[in-house]
Each structure stands twice: as structure tokens, then as C-alpha cells.
Structure 1
Amino acid sequence: MRFLRIGPLAGLGMLLCLAACGSSPPNQYYRLMPHADPTTARQQPSLGVGPIKIPDYLRRSGIVYSGGGNQLIITELQRWAEPLDEGIKRVLAINLARLLQTDNLRLFPWQLDDMPDYTVEVVVLELDTRADQAVLVADWVVKHAATGRSVTRDITRLQHPLPPGPIQPAELAPAYSALFYQLSEQIAAVIGAADAADTASAAALPGG
């Protein structure tokens, strides 16, 4: 039987290679977080959140942000813990449920025989950084689910300050979370006003 003889330099090279592989930094995972505090909930109004649409360049696990001009930076180690559109839907739903004090919540898609009172659809047009700001531009619509009639449609532009200095990917998850909370506040105000008006109209009807 023949045995391979590994020279000292070759052995050292293998050890260095193994050491390099073993010292690779681990991936870091981030998620968006809701900001609204839990409150005593009721069953009305019922809400449906979704669909949520994002630009194709954001559909990746690495965190994406502007590198200046037309350049985008896609991080290798800093990653989203879930698909970004699903994370946005999740935090919007939690924020809206808490802001409107309702437990009656559905995430898109829902059953046709279980339609909510109001639906919220969001198209994210921009989610990026600009200078020392995180930026969100979103086209959103609130509808009466039963009729499909729009209650309000708007394009919202929001900014949230970032710490001074070079952009750190770890700073973007909390900044984006704050932006989606601001958006949630605007949407909740619209739904709250519409629900109050609908309740008043129903009460004014004979037998209401």
C-alpha cells in the first residue's frame, strides 16, 4: 500500500485554507418590526392587508441600498430573514390592527366567503437611501371589500433620518420599520374616518 507524503509547505497551505474557511463571518439576518403598541382589541372594523408589491430589484435576500447615482449596493452578509414583501405585509397588518384596535384581520389572499370590511393594497415605488435619509414612496389604496369601491387612493412620500456617516446596512431595518409605521398611521386614519362615517350612516337609516 502506498501512502501520500505531504510536504511541509503543502501541509501549511492546507491548514491556512482551513483556517480561512473557518473564519468566514456569519450571515446577519434582519426583519422589519411593527411599532404600534398592543391595545385592547375589538372585532370591528375587519381588515384585509395585501397584496403588497415591491420593485423587482428589491426581491432578493441581501439588503439593497443606493450607492450613489444609478448604482445599487447588494449586501452579501446582511440579509432579510423573510421575503421583503411578506415582511412589509406583516408589519403593516400588525400596525393597522393595533392602531385601529381590531383583532379582525386577514392577510391576502383570503377566502371569498370571508371578505373583510376594508382592504389595503400597497405598491412600493421606492425604498432606498438618499444622503442621510431612508426614503419610502408608496402608492396605496383603501377599498370597501364588498363593492371594490375605493375609499382613498394616495401616493405617500416619507423620510426617516439615518445616523451620520457611511450607510450601515444594520441601520436600514429599523429605519424602514419606522417608515412603514408612518405609512400605517396615514392608512389607519383613513380607515378610521371611513368606518366612523359608515357607522353613522347605518345608524341614521330607519331601524338603525
Structure 2
Amino acid sequence: MNAPPFSIICMFMILSGCIIPESNHVAPDFYLLSDVRIDDNKSMGDSEISFYLREIELPRYLKDSRMVSRPTDHTIEFRESKRWGEPLEDGIARAISLNIVNQVHSSQFAIFPNRRKDGLNWDISVTFSAFEKASEHIVIEAKWSAKDKSGALVTGSYSSALPLEPNGGESLEISTYNQALDKLAKRILSSLISS
């Protein structure tokens, strides 16, 4: 009877197997796109514009919440600990719309998935083929089309590779994305005003 009961031995073996190893999980950082604040002197004056920005179209690999970098022309890497805080297409749509609105005197607009408001002059569609960090640059490639009430169509494209400072961090990277989207919005607005 000096031997411990069988149930105590079993309990000891079960509890010793439940040791949880130290976690190596890294909590992700989340980022949002935004408009670029401008000087009132740099706006396009008394222009008025109203528009509906349709759903932003992205390649499938960009619909993931993880930020993407492109080490070579034919490979992409998902950055596990750096993520978008909202669907990328929603952040892009908001940034483009607000950048357009910041440039004009008066405007009305609606953004997908909201319904189109009555009386808006333009329907704008934007399709991206690149929106990523590639070899110390932020690369954005997009095409857009805008149709007015009469059915007239304005189209254009935008391509940029804005340089990043080495070791600038994610704040600088997001700021560079925002600057590129501001330039895209200005190009779209300029085309709409001149048509």
C-alpha cells in the first residue's frame, strides 16, 4: 500500500502534459489611409463638382488585410504584422473622395456601398493594378473612367513610384500612400474640370 493510487498517477501525467509553451505571436499593427490636408491657396478655386465613386477594383491579392510588398517583379510578400485597419478598397475610396472634395469650392459626393444620390454629375470608376511597397518605393498603378449625365466618357491612367526614405517606418509609408492617392485624385479632378 506504499504505492500511490493509480488515479493520482494518471492525474499527475495529465496535468504535466498541459504545460503551455510561451507564445511567439506578434500582435499586428493596423493602418488607415486618409486624405492629404492642403493649403487653401492650392485648391482649384471656384470649381464645383458632384460625383459618385463606384466600387474600387483591386487585384485579388490586394483584398487581403495584410499589407503587401513586392521584392521582385514576379513575387509578393504578405506582411503578417502590418495590416490595413479596414478593407483596402474602402480606405482608397474615402481618401480619393476627400482629396477631390478638398480641392474644390463646393461639392456633393457619395461613395460605394452607399447609394448614388440624385443630381450627381459624374460616375467615377477606378481600377488598380498595383498598390504596394516595391524596393523602397510606393508603387501605385490605376486606370479610371468617369461618365457624366449626358453619357460623355473621360478616361485616364495614373502610375507612380514615390521613393521612401530608408528606415522611415510605416508612418512614412502610409503618408506616401496618402500622397500618391492625392496625386491620383488631382489628376481625376483636373480631367473632369477640363472636359
| Residue of structure 2 equivalent to 1:159 | 161
Cα distance, 1:27–1:59 mapped onto 2, change above 3 Å? same
Match of 1:147 among 135, 145, 150: 150
- The one-character-per-residue Cα deviations of 1:146-181 (angstroms, maximum 9, x if unpaired) are 23321x21121112111226x966653222111111
Deviates more, 1:104-113 or 1:61-70: 104-113
**CA–CA separation in structure 1 for the residues paired with 2:12 and 2:115:** 68
Is 2:86 aligned against 1:82? yes
Question: What is the Cα deviation at residue 131 of structure 1?
Answer: 2.5
Cα distance, 1:168–1:57 mapped onto 2, change above 3 Å? farther
Q: How many residues in Structure 1 have an aligned counterpart in Structure 2?
A: 185
> Normalising to structure 1: TM-score of the pair?
0.75
Q: Percent identity?
A: 19
Q: How does 1:106-145 map to 2 (within 5 A)?
A: 106-108=110-112, 111=115, 114-144=118-148
Higher helix share: 1
Cα distance, 1:113–1:139 mapped onto 2, change above 3 Å? closer
Q: Which runs of 4+ in 1 moved over 4 A?
A: 38-43, 109-113, 167-171
**Unmatched 5+ stretches in structure 1:** 195-208
Q: How does 1:1-208 map to 2 (within 5 A)?
A: 2-3=7-8, 4-5=11-12, 10=16, 14=19, 17=21, 20-21=22-23, 24-37=25-38, 44-108=48-112, 111=115, 114-144=118-148, 146-150=149-153, 152-164=154-166, 171-194=172-195
**Unmatched 5+ stretches in structure 2:** none
How well do the aligned residues superpose, as a CA RMSD in angstroms?
3.2
> Normalising to structure 2: TM-score of the pair?
0.79
- The one-character-per-residue Cα deviations of 1:56-88 (angstroms, maximum 9, x if unpaired) are 111101111102241110011211111111111
Letter in 1 for 2:54: G
| SS of 1:155 mapped into structure 2 | strand
Q: Is the 8 A contact 1:48 1:106 kept in 2?
A: yes
